[in-house]
Amino acid sequence: MSARESGLGGNAQQKLLAFASLIVLVIGFSLASPNFFQVSNIMAILQATSVNGVLAVGVTLIIITGGIDLSIGTLMTFCAVMTGVVLTWLGMPLPLGVLTAVGTGALCGFVSGGLVARMKIPPFIATLGMMLVLKGLSLIVTGTKPIYFNDTPGFTTIAQGSLIGQIIPLPVPNGVLVLFIVAGVAAWILGRTVLGRYTFALGSNEEAVRLSGVNTEFWKIAIYTLAGAICGIAGLLIASRLNSAQPALGLGYELEAIAAVVIGGTSLSGGRGTILGTLIGALIMSVLTNGLRVLSVAPEWQTVVTGAIIIVAVYADQMRRRGRS
Amino acid sequence: MFTRRTLLGAVAALSLMTGATGAVAQDKLYVPLISKGFQHQFWQAVKVGADKAGAELGVEVTFEGPDNESQVDKQIDMLAAALAKKPAAIGFAALDSQAAIPLLKQAQEANIPVIAFDSGVDSDIPLATASTDNLAAAALAADKMAELIGGEGKVAVVAHDQTSRTGVDRRDGFVNRIKESHPNIEVVTIEYGGGDHLKSTEITKAILTANPDIKGIFGTNEGSAIGVVNGVKESGAKVVVVGYDSGKAQKDAIREGVMAGAITQNPVGIGYETVKAAVAAAKGETVEKNIDTGFYWYDKTNIDNPEISAVLYD
Amino acid sequence: MSELVRMEAIDKSFPGVHALKSVNFDLHSGEVHALMGENGAGKSTLMKVLSGVYEPDSGRVFVDGQEVKLPTPKAAQDLGIGIIHQELALMRDLTVAQNIWIGREPRLSFGRIDEAKLNADAAAIFASMHIRMDPRTPVEGLTIARQQMVEIAKALSYRSRVLIMDEPTAALNDAEIAELFAIIRRLKAEGVGIIYISHKMDEIKQISDRVTVMRDGAYVGTVVADETPISKIISMMVGRELKDEAVTIPDLSRAETALEVIDVSRGKELKNISFSLKKGEILGFAGLMGAGRTELARAIFGAEPIDSGEIRVHGRPVRINSPAEAVRAGIGYLSEDRKHYGLALGMDVRANIAMASLRRHSDAIGRIDEAALAKIAKDYIAKLAIRTPSDRQELRLLSGGNQQKVVIAKWLLRDCDILIFDEPTRGIDVGAKAEIYRLLNELAAQGKAIIVISSELPEVLRLSHRIAVMCEGRLTGILPGGADQEKIMALATERNGKTAA
């Protein structure tokens, strides 16, 4: 593995640049508005990053294999809904709800992986199908009404509480803690384990991996399952954040997550990417959204600026690659 | 990732924005409105009313909302960003009241008064709610529908969504009034098109195919109503269409006679009353708990009356 | 014979590489001028300069005695310089004629394409080449050789007077090569100048008039083909003399059988194939393109399913339904197409060597033991003399021969004792070839059972202890090592029991 393919590390120069642009955004917004660089607003930004960040980490794994997963947004919702079913409707204890979210995600990821790896349906189509199926299932299970978690004490603290705030006087929400733990584990898997190695290898040359005697179907399904489980964690976070499972939510989240991944320098054609990049990408997205709002930029223009930034970021990345090779 | 040049570009862009927003002077009261959307003409009309009140009362007003009404968490993020700006008061139309409670509590602790508008907020934190009585308005639509189809026959509802307060109230207001007061009329089906023109069009055509003898269809918001009109036009059926809200397409349909009439809320009034109440609350004055902003039935005969045309928007 | 092209003191650098060092080259009309050199010698770069892909840093190019600038491939085409790339660049789903005229389709009104004229024009070109080809055939269904004919026709359609052919015979069998040479001779007679890049010495002697040799980006010299012995050309290329060794066949009468293939069939591609392979033996597979040798290898390896038949490894019947199962049975396969099927080019040497053995070098929860792999990779780099700055070098930066060694290292690490080499030296230069041959012999001496599939008869003869010959999906015979070429060709063309002329 060359350095840029490892997990949290990666090409120092690229990461520095990405990180630098994040810092410049933060400084720029701070100078533009005194209300931006306040503890409460920074925490709001981090909180807003947590769900999209976790989703982006999950889909990073799949994109590195050269695949794509469009179902992550509605899968997240479906996991939240199933958690609601277990906790609110069946009145089970909290840990079982957490398990349900992760388990539902893993199961759906397993199905997507099977469609892609075993039945050879192109990932775009397979996960597009899953996206709609899961959206429908969420509406069916809930009868289209949100499920609230008022009967489960402590549920909202999963995303909204602050363990860190009890240790140091900085109320970092638990959702953010969860994001960093998920990212750390994913980076470790990518950089240090067989699963991670095959993730890159599949994206680099799948047929060569198969002809090396590797059971590519198994590993591909494993990666989709892992990504699904991570979506389950995102489902848990958003449910805890909203104190409810909103069945209509979810469409569009996949594109935001993919945008964060791409801004982070992961190649959509596979074989290349880092979790740290994705993390920075997700932060750039939410700093931008929040900053433009704090500056009271008209919402129409917020969308234009965000779109332009995505294009500029990917273009800059392309230029850098071309310059190097 | 970013080259130095793009970084400079970003800084330049930011400084431009700062210049543009530098007008947010500290001495002026600042009232942000977080709505449920901003792209529909309805919300734009609310914004017009809010801006009008802002100009009259000399306060800075901003207005924003998520792209569609399922984005509960996006709206929460907007509320968080609005709170960060330390406003004098906040106007808020919740997509999901429960989800917003932690932030509303935060506002309460910071002594920032909250005024709910449109469908309101399911909590006692808001000091006042400026809204249309959707149940009563939809009931009026049911009465008008009954009158237009001669008190008997089948009707259908194309609703905009099955989770939000307005969606539920308008559907129930219509259906319950039909059940209670018009026993010879049957509501054969209720379908949901998400307020999307195209989806509502397809739904309408499907309803007409399934029930060729249907006499009337009620569309519960602007997008649904226009979808119903399109669907009826495309299949060439003779059906009484009753709409909700306004907008250019709906007004044209009423003038052409394709749509029999529609309920209009007073969106301009909603925006105006919200800001007015917010400013009053910020100054420590007491405000009325429920501000009814009213609704009207309009059709070909009264569409150009000054009283009606003032609350219609294009 | 007039001078068509002259290139003077061409110099070209890329970041970190001085690719061309003041190179001279010239081409006459009606001549075949072979351009030779090991991989990385600068042949392709020089031809890219001539075909307008690269602009030289300095130096001059003359066409018909006039100095010209070739800033784009279009400019080169307009001057009548056509190039046929080694990796064919045809659109598989379009027809032959559509491929030839892509971007220059004859138009009717309203932007409609004049398909009739398109096909007729293409047919005319094939007629002038004396080739029978239906312009309406989709390219997808053509053999590599036929696709090459399409490429040549496409180049001719630009009225090319200079035709650059980059390893045109790499994927052709002998009959097809003969056909290609016939076309080249006709073009030559019409005054076309041909620049011919190849690694195959016998072809150079057959077809070319002059030979220019390059080494390390520099011009070495130009010689007349007829008057120069092959050994001289090779020594010009590698800068030293290479010895050509004859095969020595070891006594394997007491060696145990490693692999038995019994009555294996699949569809029309493989018909009732049976053979056995002993430990320490090198079994060569000869045959024409499409004889079913690669298909057989893929069937043994489980990459494609078999319809019937049995495979035994060390006497035990095994069921092989996937490459993973083949590897568990100790069978390794080195594909003919390293880049597509053998290697992850974007990953480094260490990762590629470890690719088939990660499970053995990781713990229960899947953590990879990088320290152990680093040591192993460095061992193999030394043992196989893989030329790479380090085990972290990305594979795409290695030469073809070194990439091939990495694939071999991968299978050695996996402890496979049956190794199937499909075209092990394709695209590898002469010096590295000799090293691969030496390596194969060493592996056999260590007791590995080896199958070598090669379309180059000299290679099969030089390596094989026994030679299996295939034709049209059947195994038509197994000859002892060192058998003469006529016997092999007779078996390779034996159609349903009858020998073709």
Question: Do B150 and B36 share a structural domain?
Answer: no
Q: Which residue has the higher pLDDT, C284 or C204?
A: C284
Question: Do B237 and B151 share a structural domain?
Answer: yes
Residue B258's closest CA among B189, B196, B204, B186? B204
Question: Do C468 and C354 share a structural domain?
Answer: no
> Which domain covers residue B143, as residue numbers?
134-265
pLDDT at residue C72, as a whole number: 85
Nearest residue of A to residue B163 by CA position?
A: A145
Which chain B residues are Cβ-neighbours of A238 within 8 angstroms?
Answer: 73
Contact C347 A209 (CB under 8 A): no
Q: In this complex, is the C-beta atom of A205 within 8 Å of any C-beta atom belonging to chain C?
A: yes
Q: In this complex, is the C-beta atom of A34 within 8 Å of any C-beta atom belonging to chain B?
A: no
Residue B297: burial class (beta carbons within 10 Å; 0-12, 13-18, 19+): middle
> Which domain covers residue C486, as residue numbers?
243-330+417-429+447-496
C88: confidence class by pLDDT, cuts 50, 70, 90: low
Each residue's pLDDT tens digit, B159-179: 998 877 788 999 999 999 999
For residues A93 and A298, the answer to whether their CB atoms sit within 8 Å is no
Query: Is B56 a domain residue?
Result: yes
Q: In this complex, is the C-beta atom of C91 within 8 Å of any C-beta atom belonging to chain A?
A: no
Helix A253-263 and helix A72-84: axis angle, to 10°?
130
Nearest residue of B to residue A160 by CA position?
A: B102
Least confident of A146-160, B284-298, C104-118: C104-118
Question: Do B72 and B49 share a structural domain?
Answer: yes
Own/partner pairs, C434-439, CB within 8 angstroms, 24+ separation: C434/C242, C435/C385, C435/C401, C435/C405, C436/C401, C436/C404, C436/C405, C437/C462, C437/C463, C439/C384, C439/C405, C439/C408
pLDDT at residue C245, as a whole number: 61
The subunits that touch chain C, with at least 3 C-beta pairs less than 8 Å apart, are A
Chain B interface test: which of A296, A312, A317 (most B C-beta within 10 Å)? A296
CATH number at residue B122: 3.40.50.2300
pLDDT at residue A314, as a whole number: 79
Question: Do B159 and B281 share a structural domain?
Answer: no
Q: In this complex, is the C-beta atom of A208 within 8 Å of any C-beta atom belonging to chain C?
A: yes
Say whether pLDDT at C497 is over 60. Answer: no
* Measured distance CA(C226)–CA(C228) in Å, rounded: 6
C484: confidence class by pLDDT, cuts 50, 70, 90: confident
Query: Is B180 a domain residue?
Result: yes
Q: In this complex, is the C-beta atom of B12 within 8 Å of any C-beta atom belonging to chain A?
A: no
Q: Report the pLDDT averaged over residues C425-443.
A: 82
pLDDT at residue A323, as a whole number: 55
Contact B163 A145 (CB under 8 A): yes
Question: Do B152 and B214 share a structural domain?
Answer: yes
Chain A interface test: which of B2, B5, B40 (most A C-beta within 10 Å)? B2
For residues C472 and C498, the answer to whether their CB atoms sit within 8 Å is no
Contact yes or no, A with C (3+ CB pairs under 8 Å): yes
Q: Which CATH number fits domain A45-317: 1.10.3470, 3.40.50, 1.20.81, 1.10.287?
A: 1.10.3470
pLDDT at residue A16, as a whole number: 67
Least confident of A312-321, C134-143, C388-397: A312-321
Each residue's pLDDT tens digit, B27-59: 689 999 999 888 777 888 899 999 999 999 999
pLDDT at residue C39, as a whole number: 67
Question: Do C218 and C93 share a structural domain?
Answer: yes
Each residue's pLDDT tens digit, C361-374: 888 888 899 999 99
pLDDT at residue A2, as a whole number: 40
Give Cα separations from A138 to A75, A145, A240, A244, C490 (angstroms). Answer: 9, 10, 17, 13, 69
Say whether pLDDT at C242 is over 80. Answer: no
Cβ-Cβ pairs closer than 8 A, A with C, add up to 93
Largest pairwise CA distance in chain A = 59
Say whether pLDDT at B134 is over 80. Answer: yes
Question: Do B88 and B193 share a structural domain?
Answer: no
Q: In this complex, is the C-beta atom of A30 within 8 Å of any C-beta atom belonging to chain C?
A: no
Q: Which of A243, A248, A290 sits opposite B99 (nearest CB)?
A: A243
Query: Is B7 a domain residue?
Result: no
- Domain boundary (C415, C439, C469) is at C415
Question: Do B70 and B140 share a structural domain?
Answer: no
Q: In this complex, is the C-beta atom of A1 within 8 Å of any C-beta atom belonging to chain C?
A: yes
CATH number at residue C478: 3.40.50.300
- Domain boundary (C371, C391, C415) is at C415
Question: Do C51 and C132 share a structural domain?
Answer: yes
B2: confidence class by pLDDT, cuts 50, 70, 90: very low
Q: Which residue has the higher pLDDT, B166 or B107?
A: B107
Residue B260's closest CA among B236, B227, B229, B294? B229
Contact B71 A252 (CB under 8 A): yes
Task: Look up tokens 């091939």; give the residue.
Answer: C404
B313: confidence class by pLDDT, cuts 50, 70, 90: confident
Which chain B residues are Cβ-neighbours of A32 within 8 angstroms?
Answer: 14-15, 17-18, 21
Nearest residue of A to residue B39 by CA position?
A: A300
Average pLDDT value over all residues in chain A:
88
Question: Do B148 and B109 share a structural domain?
Answer: no
Query: Is B93 a domain residue?
Result: yes
pLDDT at residue A255, as a whole number: 92
Q: What percent of chain C has pLDDT over 90?
A: 38
Contact B78 A293 (CB under 8 A): yes
Instruction: Write out the DSSP string of C120-168.
Output: HHHHHHHHHTT----TTSBGGGS-HHHHHHHHHHHHHHTT-SEEEEEST
Say whether pLDDT at B255 is over 70. Answer: yes
For residues B207 and B156, the answer to whether their CB atoms sit within 8 Å is yes
Say whether pLDDT at B5 is over 80. Answer: no
Q: Tell me if residue B20 falls in helix, strand or coil.
A: helix
Chain B interface test: which of A246, A287, A301 (most B C-beta within 10 Å)? A246
Q: Report the pLDDT averaged over residues C420-436.
A: 81
B21: confidence class by pLDDT, cuts 50, 70, 90: very low
Question: Do C232 and C281 share a structural domain?
Answer: no
Say whether pLDDT at A5 is over 50. Answer: no
pLDDT at residue B173, as a whole number: 95
Total domains in the fold of chain C: 3
Query: Is C134 a domain residue?
Result: yes
Smallest CA–CA distance, residue A79 to chain C, in Å, is 26
Q: In this complex, is the C-beta atom of B286 within 8 Å of any C-beta atom belonging to chain A?
A: no
The subunits that touch chain A, with at least 3 C-beta pairs less than 8 Å apart, are B, C
Which chain C residues are Cβ-neighbours of A221 within 8 angstroms?
Answer: none
Contact A211 C343 (CB under 8 A): no
Question: Do B276 and B127 share a structural domain?
Answer: yes
> Radius of gyration (Cα) for chain A, nearest Å?
19
Contact B98 A148 (CB under 8 A): yes
Which chain B residues are Cβ-neighbours of A21 within 8 angstroms?
Answer: 1-2, 6-7, 10
Q: In this complex, is the C-beta atom of C301 within 8 Å of any C-beta atom belonging to chain A?
A: yes
Query: Is B311 a domain residue?
Result: no
Report for B205-219, C243-257, C336-350: range of highest mean pLDDT:
B205-219
Q: Report the pLDDT averaged over residues B292-312.
A: 89
Question: Do C137 and C11 share a structural domain?
Answer: yes
Q: In this complex, is the C-beta atom of B73 within 8 Å of any C-beta atom belonging to chain A?
A: yes
Kind plus residue range of the DSSP H or E element containing C412:
helix C400-413
Q: In this complex, is the C-beta atom of B290 within 8 Å of any C-beta atom belonging to chain A?
A: no
B274: confidence class by pLDDT, cuts 50, 70, 90: very high
Q: In this complex, is the C-beta atom of A195 within 8 Å of any C-beta atom belonging to chain C?
A: yes
Query: Is C421 a domain residue?
Result: yes
C235-246 burial, b at 16+ Cβ within 10 Å, e below that, comes to ebbbeeeeeeee
Q: In this complex, is the C-beta atom of C380 within 8 Å of any C-beta atom belonging to chain A?
A: no
Cβ-Cβ pairs closer than 8 A, A with B, add up to 152
Residue C287's closest CA among C269, C299, C300? C269
Question: Do B161 and B50 share a structural domain?
Answer: no
Residue B158's closest CA among B177, B144, B138, B143? B138
Q: In this complex, is the C-beta atom of A212 within 8 Å of any C-beta atom belonging to chain C?
A: yes
Say whether pLDDT at C425 is over 90. Answer: no
Nearest residue of C to residue A324 by CA position?
A: C15
Total domains in the fold of chain B: 2
Token pair listed for C14? 């890329």
- Residues ≥6 apart with Cβ < 8 Å to C220: C37, C213, C214, C236, C237
Average pLDDT value over all residues in chain B:
86
